[in-house]
Every structure is written in C-alpha cells, then in structure tokens.
C-alpha cells in the first residue's frame, strides 16, 4: 500500500477489513482538507484553507457535510474554520477515516 502520510498509519479505531467495525460512525458526505502536518500554522493557512475556499459556499449551505481535517481537536484548526462559518462539531479527523475502498467514511 502506498504511504498516504497520516492517513496510512495503523489506527485501531478506524474501519478495518476483517475486523469488528460495529460502533464506528459512517458519514454520507465528507469534504477533506486534511494533509500531513495540517495542524501547523503554515500548512493550515497556505494549503488547508485554500482547499476549504473551493467549496465554502456549498459547505456553509449544506451543514450536514463533515469536514475532514488532520486533528478535529486542534484549537488553531477549529478557530480558523469558525472564522469561515464552519462549526467544530462538523470536523472529523484522520483517526476517523479509512483508506479501504470497502468502507465509506
């Protein structure tokens, strides 16, 4: 498997083929702005937020769409997204997704 940075790390809380995935959340619509080091100031401002801007009008209108970030508990990320009208309860982080094509995020 290719290394996709933080997403490729083994995480026992995320969906895994052949494991009991009961209790894990499933989301119908997720927009990702995540990347490795996405909680660092430069990467957040220069790379993650421009990705957010591509879909911002739709994300504000459709509040059911979750935003995939590197760390949903990072204060800088939460504050930056709140400036654009995205509430912290819409954030999901890398530990909550799978790279497996058999499971939806």
Domains of the chain, by residue range, sit at 5-9+26-94
Q: What is the rounded distance in angstroms from the CA atom of residue 105 to the CA atom of residue 9?
A: 16
CA-to-CA separations, 23 to 16, 31, 90, 101, in angstroms, rounded:
13, 22, 19, 19
Q: What is the rounded distance in angstroms from the CA atom of residue 17 to the CA atom of residue 19?
A: 6
- Looking at the DSSP bridge assignments, the partners of residue 69 are 93
Of the two residues 79 and 26, the one the predictor is more confident about is 79
Q: What is the rounded distance in angstroms from the CA atom of residue 93 to the CA atom of residue 36?
A: 12
Asked whether the predicted pLDDT for residue 79 surpasses 70, the reply is yes
DSSP state of 48: I
Quick count: other Cβ atoms within 10 Å of Cβ 83? 8
- pLDDT per residue over 27-64, tens digit each? 888 899 988 788 889 999 999 999 999 999 999 999 99
Question: pTM above the 0.85 mark?
Answer: no
Structure-token pair, residue 83: 């400036």
């Amino acid at each position: 498997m290719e290394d996709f940075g933080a997403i490729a790390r083994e995480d026992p809380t995320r969906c895994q083929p052949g494991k009991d995935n009961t209790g894990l959340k499933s989301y119908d619509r997720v927009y990702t702005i995540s990347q490795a080091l996405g909680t660092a100031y430069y990467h957040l401002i220069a790379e993650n937020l421009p990705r957010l801007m591509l879909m911002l009008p739709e994300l504000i209108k459709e509040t059911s769409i979750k935003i995939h970030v590197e760390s949903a508990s990072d204060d800088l990320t939460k504050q930056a997204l709140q400036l654009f009208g995205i509430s912290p309860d819409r954030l999901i982080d890398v530990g909550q997704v799978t790279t497996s094509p058999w499971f939806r995020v």
